[in-house]
Structure 1
């Protein structure tokens, strides 16, 4: 039923559990007592986290890194991205998932998102440009249509799962569909190590090529089997992107709580949608395919009526206490991607590639998504009263802001 007196402000505090509780702290203390905060091989803390992510994604291999960005870099090296053809990606992602194409010696090629959605549109990949890889983000936790993507690309796919820990597409874990999957463990992600990243794959070749990027020669000597890579045993490639053991220990503890937090978020979001429906609020959500499970890192709501001023709507939500997050900047218009001199100074190899500054207006669905999407923070602890108040308040804000 529609509330008789819709709330005009969220007065309840955002419900949250401590980010790092007693179990996390105990894991760190154990490492301090053991005197092992760094690992040049594959010691217990690193092995436990990698094995846990392989289990989470039902993959053969998992490889830890110092950041999610480093894991993407390792994945693009693993699948053979190169300067003669770009890496197709969506601009509706964090900047690291764009710039990492340059890090890997290639360059980004932008394709549009799906109509009414936030993920890469499989139908736009073939016309985006020549590609050596596709990097697809499961944006804001919504699993991308991996069956359609794998059917049309013809080149290796790297899944950016940094928003989608524990998510599944068509009953199969994200991070297992492509040639590699990559997860971020930075502080605000559903599984945190403070910082860190994990690559998952079923390919021994991808695993070993990624291993050479920044892991210690001790580990390379123990694990490299490819004759073409064995000459790198004593040196690797020197990026030093291995994960500290503290991050691995904390993330392993956090991963054990992921299912409970996901269930709480799902319940909270369902309650919110019930309230918004009762108010007949002009809101829908991106499609989550049958048999799929979404992740929880910023929750996209699509406004179904034209939003005349997205900045004003965001400001009104914030002023009313609705827990919204800003969308990413429009990276297509950023100085780094628009100024060739700035880009060439940072990445000299780009002079010899097919890179051209992107046209910010060439991706119409992306521009619509930027205007019509609100990102909401959904608690991962039970929060019935809070979600009801958020739904009432958001409905009121939309009534006033969209005319």
Structure 2
């Protein structure tokens, strides 16, 4: 008898529906696709993100990477002291540290979570000027513990965690700044784009000076030390196109319903996996926390000798696995400071040292033992049951009884 396999298609609706199309057509009819100031499209999206996170300010950018660059600049990332970062993230969250004039100090992840470990941050803190904490795969990082571990400013990378809560409080409001990506694969998308959230006026204004138009700078800068930048700023031209803003605004309206459907789908998946005694564990987020929806990480409880072969078997069974990130710590750009210095000359004079494999044991174990599933944001109990049964069968066949 053949093992169970997923025969139903992955449940999905069009990424951009009628509401997004209507918003774009209205914008085209109005004839204003670029807002150099805080125009109506920009204002609506920024105000919506401020409400989502419960922060005083939100600032739009043309990418999540640009928002990270601006946030790190705003909190004072230094060329003499690095930024504590997790190795389990997209490479742009690492290179943004270089762009901000600093360098990454890699900290191991927690043994039971894909997120940066507060204990590792505490050890690295004396050599750092800031912390960049990614809510990886939508699992909220332990922000209270990170804050206790160090007095450094914390920038939250919320690119996987739109709408998530940690201990009842929105991600993007815990740190000195929060950064959201609006790239197409994210739960809230403008095609491309980014948002920075903060309650600190100085952080907001410093971030504003990096890449926004002088018209907006002149209208909003109030701090005496920043007013000299009103006529120029740093002129990175990081502002968001109005088209991206109106699309993302509509996506944000539908986010609660999509999150609820994903949560119900995950409950179905978990119930069936437990009934099948599948050898997996789930990251704990706590009773008052709500996860975001970019990927669902599961840790396999029996040793995985060949992660690539397991991934091949899972895909062959129709299981919607998301590719794990590369081990960027061993990429030539991170291992050879002479290469990185071609882009960021300050590294030639910085204390940056390439990370070693031995320094990140939890991360490298997770790279072997973790899989990440895509969970639909459309209610689909039959599909989730098929996924769970097929996943349990593959794990038992390839790892338990092999």
Q: TM tier, shorter chain?
A: over 0.9
Cα separation, 2, equivalents of 1:353 and 1:65: 28
- Matching of residue 41 in structure 1 with residue 37 in structure 2: yes
Distance (whole Å) between structure 2 residues aligned to residue 126 and residue 174 of structure 1: 21
Q: More deviation in 132-141 or 122-131?
A: 122-131
1:127 and 2:133 correspond: no
**1:98 match:** 94
- Equivalents in 1 of 2:2, 2:148: separation in Å? 47
Q: Which residue of 2 aligns with 1:153?
A: 150
Shift of 1:126: 2.2
Say if 2:341 is the partner of 1:340: no
Deviations 1:97-118 (A, max 9, x none): 1111100000000111001211
Distance in 1 (alpha carbons) for counterparts of 2:2 and 2:55: 48
1:200 and 2:200 equivalent? no
Distance in 2 separating the partners of 1:99 and 1:9: 40
Give the 3-state SS of the residue equivalent to 1:268 in structure 2.
helix
1:221 has 2:224 as partner? no
In structure 1, distance between residues paired with 2:383 and 2:306: 27
Query: Given the alignment of the two structures, is residue 79 of structure 1 paired with residue 75 of structure 2, yes or no?
Result: yes
Name the structure 2 match of 1:65: 61
Shift of 1:308: 1.0
In 2, Cα distance between equivalents of 1:183 and 1:165: 7
Distance in 1, Cα, partners of 2:351 & 2:68: 21
**Residue in 1 that maps onto 2:372:** 375
Task: Please tell me whether residue 51 in structure 1 is matched to residue 50 in structure 2.
Answer: no
Paired residues of 1:186 and 1:194 also in contact (CA < 8 A): yes
Whole-angstrom distance in 1 between the partners of 2:358 and 2:386: 38
Whether 1:112 and 2:111 are equivalent positions in the alignment is no
Residue 278 of structure 1: aligned partner: 275
**Aligned-pair CA distance for 1:328:** 0.2
Say if 2:40 is the partner of 1:20: no
What SS class does the counterpart of residue 159 from structure 1 fall into? strand
User: What is the DSSP-based 3-state SS (H/G/I as helix, E as strand, rest coil) of the residue aligned with 2:133?
Assistant: strand
- SS of corresponding position for 2:98: helix
Q: Secondary structure at the match of 2:305?
A: coil
Contact preservation (8 Å) 2:85, 2:131: yes
Unmatched 5+ stretches in structure 1: none
1:194-241 per-position Cα deviation (integer Å, ceiling 9, x unaligned): 000000000000000000000000000000011111111111101000
How far apart are the structure 2 equivalents of 1:245 and 1:207?
20
Q: TM-score, normalised by structure 1?
A: 0.98
Unaligned runs of 5+ in 2: none
What is the CA–CA distance in structure 1 between the aligned matches of 2:274 and 2:287, rounded to whole Å?
Answer: 21
- The 5-angstrom pairing of residues 201-280 of structure 1 reads 201-280=198-277
Give how far 1:357 is off: 1.0
Matches of 1:7 and 1:171, distance apart in 2:
41
Superposition TM-score, scaled by structure 2 size: 0.98
Matches within 5 A, 1:130-141: 130-141=127-138
RMSD: 1.0
- How many residue pairs get aligned? The number is 399
**SS in structure 2 opposite 1:225?**
coil
Q: Map Cα deviations across residues 272-310 of structure 1 (whole Å, 9 max, x no partner).
A: 011111110001111112300000101101111111111
